[in-house]
Chain A
Amino acid sequence: MDVELVDIYKTFGRVHANDGISLKVKSGTVQGILGENGAGKSTLMKILSGFIQADSGDILLDGKKVTIQSPADSVKLGIGMLHQDPQDFPPMKVLDNLIIGSPVGLFPNRRKIIKQFEELQKQFNFAISPDNYIDTLTVGERQQLEILRLLWLGAEVLILDEPTTGISASQKALLFETIRKLAAQGKAILFVSHKLDEVESLCTQVVVFRQGKNVGAMTPPYNTDRLVEMMFGKTIARSERICETQEAVNFKVDNLRIDDPRFAIKEVNFEIRRGEVIGLAGMEGSGQAVILRTLAGIVRPTGGHIYMMDGKEGVRTDLAGKHYFQFRNNGISFLPAARLEEGLIQGMSLAEHFALAEKQDGFMVDREDIDDLAGQRIKDFNIRGTPESRIEELSGGNQQRAELALMRNPLRLLLLEHPTRGLDIESSMYIWGKLKQRCIEGASILFISSDLDEIVHYSDRILVFFGGRVSAAFEASQVTIDQLGQLIGGKGWS
């Protein structure tokens, strides 16, 4: 079946997730879709599979206009989506998972379905027992089951969203072989990925999305440099370093190991100097968030050391394995991206937040003192609100400023998740101004951002993450976007 998406628009608040995207995928082809986080890939796939609806634009199947209001609609039309995380029911059996959501009626003929299932999986050399429970399967097998289920439901168009995350090399090979077979059968495949190697080896053509737009297509032979340029843009303004990076080492991460369900992070080594900003680059879920939370003391490493250097020669404290509160008491502060879930407390006022964040003075809360303090901080951090404003009444930018205002003094290390995500330029600049102030006072900053511009612009050094691996640190003043882009896309790792 040929798929055509015409002029799709979708906005979330002020964000144009899809800004007039058009895309045509012919039956029998494997269409690669590349792009940074937030480029609009997932939004478009969700529109095609009925999870969300476009603000405007048309979807055509074999040239005929269709409306897709729900995932059930898309299944009926022959569109199947394989999600990044398997959408199945772990406590149930394989066969039950197959039957759920299929129009087989109240009393399915299990024997017949098993036979169909076995025939289908023989085609692709899968070996899943229909009587097994889902939670005994590997991620790769669950993915295979999901593909079989979609085919069994009659999918002619398959959307695969980052399908190689968390599966083994042999399963990946089998998956690619399967995808090629399916294309040969005349199915249309949409392969969403940020891994350049995979896209280049598998896809018959590639499009690149950037900031909600389709910025270009390419057919083999692929020019990696050109693809990277399309994904990340060409030039990035670099600011001069405001923080004088001091030579003194503040923290030393030594042979850190972390077990994450997706991948094992091994042998992470780097130094954090006083007053420096380190940007952690990489596609979301490449391991940078886990490292950040480990350095914050929230995730416990399985091995290695996090040394806090005491300034004097040779004096150091190992924080690895210690309680989160001990990290905090040593001046390590973590700012989560999910502000209203992890950082701030809905239903409480700004003043109450400041009361909680400050060092407790006595048993009683002195309302007047706290209101004074809140008023002062509100002024210092340019927060639009009053001490009585409840935190959820503030805009995102003001919430972010409030999070910054809540941080204690003095600090040794700031760990920031997406410090300016969703904020306008003015707010972002303000926040970075405040952060640089901290650097001048001697704190170090590690931050995650999916915005490569922000990383290159504000970092002194950059670490790139890919599939749980960590690159050596690059001097931000010398690195090129092409270098970073290739590494983020999984190229150039030894």
Chain B
Amino acid sequence: MVSNRTHKAGGLGSALRKLLTNRLSSILIAVILALAITWVVILVMQAPPLRVFGIMLKGSVGSMSAITQTFQAWVPLVLATCGLMFTFTAGLWNIGMEGQIEMGAICAYGVIHYVTGSSTPGYLVIILASLAGMAGGAFWAYLVGLLKNYGGVNEIFGGLGFNFIADAFLLYLVYGPWKPAGVAQGSTKMIDAQYWLPQVPGTYLSLWSLGLAILGIVVVTFVLKGTYFGLKLKAVGKNAKASFMMGIPTSRYMLLSFVLCGVFGGLAGSFQVTGFLHVLRNSISGGYGYLALMVGMLSNYQPLIGVPISLIFTALNKGATGLVIDLQLDTNFSGVIQGLLVLCVLLMQGVRAKLSKGIRGVQHG
């Protein structure tokens, strides 16, 4: 009754309020807002907006080869996103994902580097490299967790620090012990084709890594939504103190969430080596760690929502490469759109929270 009355009295104001407080419509508004600002940015850059969007669409999903490339780039992003779901659920910001991907790549390449020339079968090497990658990522994340739990170092600073260390270590390897013969080029020599993840003929896409990424989504969703472990992790993330009081060993759960996150990051890193670049090179993580953080935020920490969002993000990245050739724009343009999307969605979330506060009161009784 009461809401009816306010409806009539409010008129347009209450309709707008309803639009802003509804979850779906508020996200829609955020997307439109982001696109509108992007439009303005494109105009400022003196490019034709419609053509920019057209090129991006064509470059990402316009052809079979574009689609396979998008999916191929989607694998590391979605893996990293899956990993971050654990730390997000535990209420932690694993900024160190970049470093964990890099360590995964380093360890995977390391295995291949040392078995090259031996008689170990290729598929076994790939499996070993993947496992080594997962272990490397997990270890790197574990260090961040240790610092957080026992050193009182906030995981954001710890993670950032370990990103730099991983970077430096990678550079050292690429320019040092693993430098290919001849002039150093910031990249190792290419691994033997027998150690490549099998690819769909004529494309770069590996069904193996794609399959594992999809499996990753299923596993993460299952663990977080269906198991006691997921439930406890959620409790720790929402209120560590009360969780401890209820008998949950909170620091162990936080550490475990880091390790699991690192496993996924490391796997993404190993696929960068075995499934895509086939070398170890400078900034092999490709910024997927940071991008995954944005995807995680945008998906409201829900793995299944992360799937389409990460796909859109990779499509934007792939699409933007065409802009360089056709319009002489920078590839980083996709980053502008991604950043705007995140900001607009967060902004609308804030607006929604602020407006709903007055509406949804606490029940008394």
Q: Which residue of A lies closest to B361 (CB)?
A: A393
Q: Mark B229-271, 1 if CB is under 8 A from A, else 0.
A: 1111011001101111111110000000000000000000000
* Residue total for B at the interface (Cβ-Cβ under 8 A): 24
Question: Given A344-B242, A393-B363, does the pair A352, B231 have CB atoms closer than 8 Å?
Answer: yes
Q: Mark A360-394, 1 if CB is under 8 A from B, else 0.
A: 10111100000000000000000011000000111
Does B117 sit within 8 A of A, measured CB to CB?
no
A363 touches B362 (CB 8 A): no
A310 to B239, CA, bound (A): 35
* Residue total for A at the interface (Cβ-Cβ under 8 A): 31
CB within 8 Å of B: which A430-485 residues: none
Residues of A within 8 A of B362 (CB): 392-393, 395
CB within 8 Å of A: which B199-254 residues: 226-232, 234-235, 238-239, 241-249
User: Which residue of A336, A344, A345, A395 is within 8 Å of B364 (Cβ)?
Assistant: A395
A352 to B239, CA, bound (A): 13
Q: Mark A335-359, 1 if CB is under 8 A from B, else 0.
A: 0100001111111100010011100
A355 touches B231 (CB 8 A): yes
A343 touches B242 (CB 8 A): yes
B231 touches A343 (CB 8 A): no
A395 to B249, CA, bound (A): 29
B238 touches A346 (CB 8 A): yes
B244 touches A324 (CB 8 A): yes
A336 to B246, CA, bound (A): 11
Does A334 sit within 8 A of B, measured CB to CB?
yes
Does A93 sit within 8 A of B, measured CB to CB?
no
Does B177 sit within 8 A of A, measured CB to CB?
no
A342 touches B228 (CB 8 A): no
Q: Give, as a whole number of angstroms, the nearest-CB distance from A169 to chain B.
A: 36
Residues of B within 8 A of A392 (CB): 362
Residues of B within 8 A of A343 (CB): 242, 245
B245 touches A365 (CB 8 A): no
B228 touches A365 (CB 8 A): yes
B363 touches A364 (CB 8 A): no
Residues of B within 8 A of A348 (CB): 234-235, 238
User: Which residue of B227, B244, B247, B248 is within 8 Å of A364 (Cβ)?
Assistant: B227
Question: Given A341-B241, A365-B227, does the pair A395, B363 have CB atoms closer than 8 Å?
Answer: yes
Question: Given A384-B365, A392-B362, A398-B365, does the pair A363, B228 have CB atoms closer than 8 Å?
Answer: yes
B245 touches A336 (CB 8 A): yes
Q: Which residue of A lies closest to B249 (CB)?
A: A325
A347 touches B238 (CB 8 A): yes
Residues of A within 8 A of B227 (CB): 363-365
A345 touches B365 (CB 8 A): no
Does A252 sit within 8 A of B, measured CB to CB?
no
Q: Which residue of A lies closest to B360 (CB)?
A: A393
User: Which residue of A352, A356, A362, A393 is within 8 Å of B248 (Cβ)?
Assistant: A356
B228 touches A355 (CB 8 A): yes
A345 touches B235 (CB 8 A): yes
Does A328 sit within 8 A of B, measured CB to CB?
yes
Residues of B within 8 A of A324 (CB): 244
Residues of A within 8 A of B229 (CB): 363
A356 touches B232 (CB 8 A): yes
Residues of B within 8 A of A360 (CB): 228
Q: Can you list 23 A-B pairs, Cβ within 8 angstroms, ordered by A?
A: A341-B239, A341-B241, A341-B242, A342-B241, A342-B242, A342-B245, A343-B242, A346-B238, A348-B234, A352-B231, A352-B235, A355-B228, A356-B235, A363-B229, A364-B228, A365-B228, A365-B231, A384-B363, A392-B362, A394-B363, A395-B364, A395-B365, A398-B365
Which residues does B use to contact A, with CB under 8 Å?
226-232, 234-235, 238-239, 241-249, 362-365
Q: Please list the 10 inter-chain residue pairs (A to B) with the smallest Cβ-Cβ separation, ordered nearest first.
A: A345-B239, A384-B365, A395-B364, A347-B238, A345-B238, A395-B365, A360-B228, A345-B242, A345-B235, A328-B247
